[in-house]
Amino acid sequence: MPRIAGTDIPDNKPVRISLRYIYGIGPSHSDKILKAADIDGQTRANKLTEDQLAQIANIIDGGYIVEGALRRAIGQNIARLRDIRCYRGDRHRRGLPVHGQRTKTNARTRKGRKKTVAGKKGVKGMK
């Protein structure tokens, strides 16, 4: 199993798919990296030579923030928003959706499981 940027990539898949296993590299970045390295995207990762792997690793190290550095940068950005007490920071702090999604329905991924609140059920003396 080849190792690029500190991540094991699957060797039985095309290299353009395998590169996506690296945190911070998606479809378009994967294609740009392979184009810069002049490698066919359909080549299986286990068929790459050591030189090609080194070339891909150099391109990623030189121009992309990936893995731990990217996770750290995202965490720092969120912490900064929390510290300056902006609207987005408050949404992060409360665990609610940040980008304007509705919360009356849906939003269960961010809000967690339903918390049932006891309602008014047949209160006597009310008309």
* C-alpha atoms less than 13 angstroms from C-alpha of 23 in its C-beta half-sphere: 11
Decide: pTM greater than 0.75. Answer: yes
Domain-located, residue 27 = yes
12, 58: one domain: yes
Banded pLDDT at 74 (limits 50, 70, 90): very high
Q: Taking a C-beta distance cutoff of 8 angstroms, is the pair 55, 37 a contact? A: yes
Residue ranges making up the domain that contains 79: 68-111
Domain-located, residue 48 = yes
CATH number at residue 101: 4.10.910.10
The string of pLDDT tens digits covering residues 81-107 is: 999 999 999 999 999 999 999 999 999
Bridge partner residues of 7 (DSSP): 4
CATH number at residue 40: 1.10.8.50
